[in-house]
Structure 1
Amino acid sequence: MATMKDVAERSGVSVTTVSHVVNGTRRVSDEVRLRVEGVMEEIGYRPNILARGLRRGEATLLGLIVPDATNPYFAEIARAVADACSEEGYAVIICNSDGRRDREKEAIEVLAANRVGGIFLVNVGVTERDAALFDGLSIPLVMLDREIPGIPVDSIQIDNVHGGRQATDHLLSLGHRRIACIAGPSQVSPSGDRVTGYRQALEAAGLPFDPSLVLRGDFTPASGHACAGILMERGERPTALFACNDLMAFGAVTALAERGLAVPGDVSVVGFDDIPLAAYFNPPLTTVAQPRREMGRRAARILLERMRDGTLPRRRPVLMNTTLKVRRSSGPPAGGDGPRS
């Protein structure tokens, strides 16, 4: 592993000079700085930002807590947050709550005890009853993807109601009238909002809401597989499925294939998130895309601003738009009249 001494020897300067370049503790001529930085890049030297922060009396570590680190959606958000923070000289510790409140609470307490500068949180569905946990924090907190009503913290969200409506309107425009919905966990606000959008689209089309067409999964492929299986075993099966995330949509497509049903020939499927695999699935998945990279970058910008200026007023939640990505998993219903205007 390259050391500061290696950089100094190759640059023809002292270790002290390299330290000043790395830490910005004294002005160094542009010529020397560029030479030192060039050598650092060439030999792969990376400063120890934790040690640097301790010397300066600053927090250089941040925390990110997600419900499921194996979910590609959260992995992309984590990458965006980490990249944006790295550009500002901060490292991010990623914690997995496994969708459990007790583990989320433990992660927050451990991060705070270890003096991270701030926390990014994708919560597992905490309610107002748990507000004391956040009120007692002495470090900035930014919520990603979700919010907790009544808790005045910064948050970055998408318009999930609009996204749910986009997915359902698309299926309605193709001529579908019996559209099922595979929802996510009841305690997670995006799931409920997406179902609200689904219901709004049906209502606007003059169609009654049928609660028997809404089943609840847990955002995993296995739950999408199970819910789709149940829906297909009923007397009058739906001609289309709206799954409230892509992983459940993948599971649903597999369940349909196991029953000899073609997608979209027999049943159309629409997901939500537009994770990278969605475009390469078979068939490529029609889905509602979230601006994950921008969400992560904006969250990082807000948290760092609040760390640097603790007097900033509380912001309202930042609400970002979704985009429908139409691919080959959706089409007109079998024997239908085709798309409707």
Structure 2
Amino acid sequence: MKMSDVAKLANVSPATVSRVLSNPELVSKETRQKVLDVINEVNYKPHIVARQFRTKETKIILVVVPDITSAFFSKVLRGIEHVAVNNGYQVILGDTENDIEREKEYINLLLQKQADGMVLLTARLNKTNLEEISEHFPMVLACEYMDGLNVPTVSIDNISSARKATEHLIKLGHTKIAHITGPINVILSRDRMRGYQQAMMSHELDIDSAYIQEGDFSFESGYNQTLKLLALENPPTAVFAFNDEMAMGAIKAAKDSGLKAPEDLAVVGFDNVKMSSVIEPNLTTINQPKYEIGKKAMELLLKLINGESINKKKFVMKDELIIRESCGSNPDLKEQTKM
């Protein structure tokens, strides 16, 4: 079925059918409805490639994530997709599996004009490359970021939130607090470690280098690094983990070592994924407004696609400490979560 066939059945010109599809406000209500009735009746699908040649638009947004298996990204992606779909765009997902070469491959799709814009949820390329690409194509960073990058970015303040998580453990009386980081080559890992260190130093607590162990975001690394911490001659009484998955691994390691959380080992995570409120004990964590981050990132990208300027480059969303059972807080304390 071609556009000319639809036009013949609706007794209008092909140009009118084209306007109904691309600029319906230019067609009278009666004619527009007549064309739409025929389109629905014959299930006509516009030729996407032909439309690209005419409009130089694909109506496709590329979203690049570092790890699609991570529970954290599902709500971020939902926020992006809801805004995209409501504005007539489709979302294509690219999973880099934390591989910088894969990230480059997906960015090449943008360079080949196979997408109208990109939301990067990972930023492992160097600053110069990203800025060069952003000068020619609409691009927004979300969740991850890069110091001094002249590209619109949506995230939380990871240093402040990590400091908040660590200080909660300090207020509960812990002085021997360990930190399981993410990979140190990732800026989020360095910033959350910085927040942990700031909290320890501001309370004049020693930072034992043996208490800082590098993980890889996974449950397994949280488990294994916690076993190392518990095997120390002077083991920590609390652990702040980079994310909830590693925090859950820490709780499992404590249990397998004959210890109880939070009685013997207090644990705080980060991200507030769904499982954090399901596991036993429920996990104290930092909530990131995941859906709102995705929504804001897509709104900014649409502005860039439409040729609007964005003077402000850094958008910092509000995080929240969610107090549950895993850190040994008062069980009667009302959970501070926003539903």
1:240 aligns with 2:238: yes
Q: Which residue of 2 aligns with 1:106?
A: 105
Note the 1:221-300 alignment, pairs <5 A: 221-300=219-298
- State the Cα RMSD in Å: 3.1
Equivalent residues of 1:49, 1:89 under 8 A apart:
no
Over 3 Å counting, the alpha-carbon distance change for 1:50 and 1:276 in structure 2 is farther
Q: Which residue of 1 aligns with 2:70?
A: 71
Note the 1:17-36 alignment, pairs <5 A: 21-25=20-24, 27=26
Equivalent in 311, 318, 322 of residue 319 of structure 2:
322
Q: Which residue of 2 aligns with 1:304?
A: 302
Q: Which residue of 2 aligns with 1:92?
A: 91
Over 3 Å counting, the alpha-carbon distance change for 1:68 and 1:50 in structure 2 is farther
Q: Deviations over 1:80-126 (max 9, x none)?
A: 11111111111111101111111111110123214311111122533
For 2:286 and 2:185, how far apart are their aligned partners in 1?
21
Q: Which residue of 1 aligns with 2:333?
A: none
Amino acid at match of 1:70: T
Q: Which residue of 2 aligns with 1:132?
A: 129
Note the 1:92-171 alignment, pairs <5 A: 92-128=91-127, 131-132=128-129, 134-137=131-134, 138-171=136-169
Structure 2, unpaired ranges of 5+: 331-339
For 1:35 and 1:271, how far apart are their aligned partners in 2?
57
State the Cα distance separating 1:134 from its structure 2 match.
3.9
For the residue of structure 1 that corresponds to 2:269, the secondary structure is strand
Equivalent residues of 2:323, 2:329 under 8 A apart:
no
State the Cα distance separating 1:259 from its structure 2 match.
0.9
Structure 1, unpaired ranges of 5+: 334-341
For 1:177 and 1:37, how far apart are their aligned partners in 2?
69
Equivalent residues of 2:284, 2:325 under 8 A apart:
yes
Equivalent residues of 2:261, 2:327 under 8 A apart:
yes
Q: Which residue of 2 aligns with 1:188?
A: 186
Amino acid at match of 2:84: C
Over 3 Å counting, the alpha-carbon distance change for 1:209 and 1:246 in structure 2 is same
Amino acid at match of 1:264: P
Equivalent residues of 2:10, 2:34 under 8 A apart:
no
Over 3 Å counting, the alpha-carbon distance change for 1:133 and 1:199 in structure 2 is closer
Equivalent residues of 1:23, 1:52 under 8 A apart:
no
For 2:251 and 2:34, how far apart are their aligned partners in 1?
56
Q: Deviations over 1:9-33 (max 9, x none)?
A: xxx9779788755433454566887
State the Cα distance separating 1:263 from its structure 2 match.
1.1
Amino acid at match of 2:217: F
For the residue of structure 1 that corresponds to 2:81, the secondary structure is helix
Deviates more, 1:12-21 or 1:263-272: 12-21
Q: Which residue of 2 aligns with 1:204?
A: 202
For 1:37 and 1:260, how far apart are their aligned partners in 2?
68
Normalising by structure 1, we get a TM-score of 0.83
Q: Deviations over 1:237-274 (max 9, x none)?
A: 11111001011111111111111211112111110001
Over 3 Å counting, the alpha-carbon distance change for 1:124 and 1:142 in structure 2 is closer
State the Cα distance separating 1:326 from its structure 2 match.
0.8
Equivalent residues of 2:240, 2:267 under 8 A apart:
yes
Over 3 Å counting, the alpha-carbon distance change for 1:20 and 1:105 in structure 2 is same
State the Cα distance separating 1:58 from its structure 2 match.
2.3
Equivalent residues of 1:122, 1:145 under 8 A apart:
yes
For 1:35 and 1:232, how far apart are their aligned partners in 2?
73
For the residue of structure 1 that corresponds to 2:147, the secondary structure is coil
Normalising by structure 2, we get a TM-score of 0.84
State the Cα distance separating 1:155 from its structure 2 match.
0.7
For the residue of structure 2 that corresponds to 1:228, the secondary structure is helix
Q: Deviations over 1:51-72 (max 9, x none)?
A: 6555533231111111101111
Q: After TM superposition, where is structure 1 displaced by more than 4 Å over at least 4 residues in a row? A: 12-22, 26-41, 44-55
Identity fraction in percent: 34
Over 3 Å counting, the alpha-carbon distance change for 1:234 and 1:108 in structure 2 is same
For the residue of structure 2 that corresponds to 1:208, the secondary structure is coil
State the Cα distance separating 1:316 from its structure 2 match.
2.4
